[in-house]
Chains A and B, each alone.
Chain A
């Protein structure tokens, strides 16, 4: 089965623009989206990741679990190309990220959306601008500048906000929103960016349990509806098992296990968190 022409499904301007920069991304379900080959990551003396081999295929929902400092965030940063491995290769969308020119890297990154624990939004801007930031990889400077004064592409932003459940916040200042609402804004930004894969770095760690479930459900639905791929690092095993179909356990920078969600046992989890 093919997820053929992305533009048919997306049907909006951004997809056409994406094609016009000739990205050449034709992915099949089950095609390899990410591949890590013997990846090592060293921060000074700290070995954050060691000898990691990993494949992530299109359409998967992968949870990264493990205690703090196990290398989950580092892995996410390697996958979205903001970090270069000190050893080994990271392949994304059929390209080796560390061999790309800055321009090629940016083109690849357009297809990778990231969500963060601290939301990483610009607090002092209205929600509309933070959502519109999803367009920035293909907007011209003039358009982006004009939009800051007179917001453009309201329809797209409003649709995205409606999808994440806060349509009324369109013109609100971002720092007036609650944590859960801010994470929804970050989700709307990713929706507007319309990537092939969504990476989420502990997206619910600063939210209460009820808000966490809402956001995770939203994430899962968004991903399954549009056939995207999800890689999410989580503190909570329950959330991982409930919302993902593959779980990767990391411990001190090494892969402890990599299993389908329904094959993860209590013993595996206890081994992962054992002191």
Chain B
């Protein structure tokens, strides 16, 4: 090559945007760790024996017929709660989603240029019920409705309804509009035009998202058991408090099976329907053309009928007292709350600041644990990676290697399922065996639970990976570690980070539920105020918490845009 002086492009700033975010994240984690160190004592070594007894019991779960009957009833209750609340939240979400979408107002009020302001106002209002965790809703409804199954259903349906509304409205707004306007311009009323254009266009996305919500509400239904709503969560709490660890493991197994069946069934159905993956939905990617199932696929039809039959069964099984919704007593109590809540009292304000920071630190540590664990476990949990014929596999795999690969895959997946099937407050109670109350047990509990969720999502990212760069590097004789570094990591890391940031928002909301069992943070104060009917102070605490979640949402959103 010639010897002209090289005119190289100047090297870009060393501290580019991504690296800056990485540094911010590292500092945030370090500061949060320091906050843990402020506590006088962290480890409670006396609890080791307890922890050991708990772990040892995993070998012999209680399988007596009478206890199994209890477990079955509890599992059915949890399932029924999940079905009912998903149905309700989809109903709320469908209406709310339509009203929160820009395109609806554009269709209804074509010439007034108001669509953007109306839809963004409605979206803003929806953000508030969404910011408040199911458990807070649950505790609030217990105060109003007493201990009734209705509490659990409403507590899930309201925040979930708001989430579904947000997602549905975004899906509607992202669907191509030309067919809709073609109908509108020929004089079709807005509602009719919608059901003939946008709604069928976006329907598969709706269905896919609805299944995903159902998976989540199974987990939420288990958590709500802890405030006395019944079901597996409640039984777990009872067994844990009375130190019956053998029973505990039976209940864990039931949760494991229930969650596993729902996750697997939902994934199978979505796949069969040819609906987009969660990835496409969450990351707003244009859906790739996937294999559509033939109409009248008997398996899908059977599953659909089964699911539809499950709905009336669930409503019958939970036997909620719906009349309470419009009973005079409820109205009176609500009115009382309305009066008691005003004016807000600011006496807990000085306490609020440190607690908010503690909560923030807890959420940061939790997502750090979940994120790191998730990244590490996503690869062994992905079907296309280490398995025979996977991305990193060579030409020959011995029989033994094959068995080892499959075992590793199944073990990782089982671990992830266990981590997410067991509710975070239960993990917190386990962590409290050996940790003193504070930020750390809460962070560990949330971290483990979210690790299970993130690990699964990330494994899907890996399974969705573009294999071409890897193929090219492989053909060039690159070893597996470097293949991973240059072909796999750059393509997956951005999506991993997007998921981690998204999950961080969820983690912040969930800090409340580990606070409930005494793991520290704002959750403890909230639950105390709720159970002592201290609504004036509650309003301030809640406002503080909502502001915190908005701030976290904003940081996470900014970071995600920067990393894209």
| A residues whose Cβ falls under 8 Å from a Cβ of B | 77, 80-82, 84, 102, 105-110, 112-114, 116, 118, 120-125, 129, 133-134, 136-137, 139, 141, 144-145, 148-151, 154-155, 158-159, 162-163, 167-171, 186, 193
Known: A120-B472, A168-B9. A136 touches B478 (CB 8 A): yes
Shortest beta-carbon distance from A136 to chain B in Å: 4
With A105-B477, A106-B477, A107-B477 known to touch, is A121 a contact of B469 (CB < 8 Å)? yes
Select which of B7, B476, B486 is within 8 A of A193 by beta carbon.
B476
Any A CB within 8 A of the CB of B11 = yes
B450-489 interface bits toward A, Cβ cutoff 8 Å, 1 = contact, 0 = none: 0000000000000000101101111111110111011100
B489 CB, min distance to chain A CBs, angstroms: 8
B339 within 8 A of A: no
Rounded to whole angstroms, the CA-CA distance of A220 and B6 in the bound complex is 24
**B490 and A129: CB pair below 8 A?**
yes
Decide if A114 touches B476 in the complex (CB within 8 Å).
Answer: yes
Q: Are A120 and B9 in contact (CB under 8 A)?
A: no
Q: How far is the CB of B463 from chain A (nearest CB, A)?
A: 18
Bound CA span A244–B479, Å: 33
B265 to nearest A CB, angstroms? Answer: 31
B442 to chain A, nearest CB (A): 33
Taking a contact as CB atoms under 8 Å apart, the answer to whether B494 and A124 are in contact is yes
Whole-angstrom distance between the Cβ of B482 and the nearest chain A Cβ: 5
Task: Tell me the minimal C-beta distance from A155 to chain B in angstroms.
Answer: 7
Pick the contact of A82: B6, B471, B479, B482 (CB < 8 A): B471
Q: Does residue B394 face the partner (Cβ distance < 8 Å to A)?
A: yes
10 A-B pairs with least C-beta separation: A109-B477, A120-B472, A106-B477, A120-B468, A110-B477, A136-B478, A170-B9, A80-B475, A137-B477, A122-B469
- Cα A108 to Cα B478 with chains together (Å): 11
Question: Which residues of B sit under 8 angstroms from A163, Cβ to Cβ?
Answer: 1
In the complex, are the beta carbons of A134 and B476 less than 8 A apart?
Answer: yes
Decide if B285 is an interface residue (CB 8 Å cutoff). no
Q: Does B291 contact A (CB under 8 A)?
A: no
In the bound complex, do residue A159 and residue B6 qualify as a contact, i.e. CB atoms below 8 Å apart? yes
Contact present for A124 and B490 (CB under 8 Å)? yes
Query: In the complex, how many angstroms separate the beta carbon of A21 from the nearest chain B beta carbon?
Result: 11
Given A82-B471, A136-B486, A167 and B477 contact (CB-CB distance below 8 Å): no
A-B contact pairs, 26 of them (CB 8 A): A82-B474, A82-B475, A102-B395, A106-B477, A108-B477, A114-B476, A116-B468, A120-B469, A122-B490, A123-B466, A129-B486, A129-B490, A133-B478, A136-B486, A137-B477, A141-B485, A144-B485, A144-B486, A149-B19, A151-B11, A158-B6, A158-B8, A159-B6, A167-B7, A168-B9, A171-B12
Q: Chain A residues near B12: list those with CB within 8 A.
A: 171
Q: Is the CB of B475 within 8 A of A133?
A: no
- A residues less than 8 Å from B322 (CB atoms): none
Q: In the bound complex, do residue A122 and residue B487 qualify as a contact, i.e. CB atoms below 8 Å apart?
A: yes
In the complex, how many angstroms separate the beta carbon of B496 from the nearest chain A beta carbon? 12
* Proximity string of chain B (1-15) to chain A, C-beta cutoff 8 Å, 1 when within and 0 when not: 100001111011010
**B405 in the interface (beta carbon within 8 A):** no
Tell whether, in the assembled complex, residue A116 and residue B472 are in contact, meaning their CB atoms are under 8 Å apart. Answer: yes
Report the number of A-B residue pairs with Cβ-Cβ less than 8 Å: 104
Closest to B563 in A: A124
Asked whether, in the complex, the Cβ of B11 is within 8 Å of the Cβ of A112, the reply is no
Distance in angstroms from A143 CB to nearest chain B CB is: 10
Q: Whole-angstrom distance from the CB of A87 to the nearest CB of chain B?
A: 16
User: Residues of B with Cβ closer than 8 Å to A?
Assistant: 1, 6-9, 11-12, 14, 19, 394-396, 466, 468-469, 471-479, 481-483, 485-487, 490-491, 494
> What distance in Å separates the Cβ of A185 from its nearest Cβ neighbour in chain B?
12
| New A-B pairs, 12, CB < 8 Å, besides A114-B476, A120-B471 | A77-B475, A82-B475, A105-B477, A106-B477, A106-B479, A116-B468, A124-B490, A125-B486, A137-B479, A139-B482, A154-B8, A186-B472
Contact indicator A141/B476 (Cβ below 8 Å): no
In whole angstroms, what is the CA distance A162 to B8 when docked? 9
Give Cα A158–Cα B468 distance, bound, in whole angstroms.
Answer: 25
A26 to B325, CA, bound (A): 87
Are B491 and A123 within 8 A (Cβ)?
yes
Q: Considering the complex, give the chain A residue whose CB is closest to the CB of B488.
A: A122
Cross-chain contact B19 with A133 (CB below 8 angstroms): no
Q: Across the interface, which residues of A come within 8 angstroms of B485, CB to CB?
A: 141, 144-145, 148
Check A122 against B475 for contact (C-beta < 8 Å): no
Contacts of A133 in B (CB 8 A): 473, 476, 478, 486
Residue of A nearest to B396 (CB): A102
State which of A81, A118, A167, A168 has its C-beta within 8 Å of the C-beta of B475. A81
Complex: how many Å from CA A154 to CA B471? 25
Residues of B within 8 A of A108 (CB): 477
Point out the residues of chain A lying under 8 angstroms from B475, CB to CB: 77, 80-82, 109, 112, 114
Q: Give the Cβ gap from A224 to chain B, nearest Cβ, in Å.
A: 14
CB-defined contacts of B396 to chain A, threshold 8 Å: 102
Q: What is the bound-complex CA distance between A144 and B486, given in angstroms?
A: 8
Residues of B within 8 A of A141 (CB): 481-482, 485
Residues of A within 8 A of B466 (CB): 123
Contact check, A155 vs B482: say whether CB atoms are below 8 A apart. no
Residue of B nearest to A116 (CB): B472
Bound complex: CA of A107 vs CA of B477, how far in Å? 6
| CB proximity of B15 to chain A, nearest CB, Å | 11
- The docked-state distance in angstroms from the alpha carbon of A139 to that of B479 is 10
Q: Which residue of B lies closest to A123 (CB)?
A: B491
Give A30 to B559 CA distance when docked, in angstroms. Answer: 57
Least CB distance, B495 to chain A, in whole angstroms: 9
Closest-by-CB residue of B relative to A97 is B395
| Complex contact B394–A102 (CB within 8 A) | yes
Contact B490 A125 (CB under 8 A): yes
Nearest-Cβ distance from residue B409 to partner chain A, whole angstroms: 21
Among A110, A121, A125, chain B packs the most CB atoms within 10 A around the CB of A125
Taking the closest CB of chain A, its distance from the CB of B406, in whole angstroms, is: 21
B476 touches A113 (CB 8 A): yes
Interchain CB contact under 8 A, B478 and A106: yes
Bound-complex Cα distance A105 to B491 (A): 26
Report how far A151 CA is from B6 CA in the complex, Å: 17
Which of chain B's residues have a CB closer than 8 A to the CB of A136? 473, 476, 478, 482-483, 486
Bound complex: CA A108 to CA B474 (Å): 12
- The 8 Å CB contact of B9, one of A102, A124, A167, is A167
How far, in whole Å, are A167 and B494 apart by their CA atoms in the complex? 27
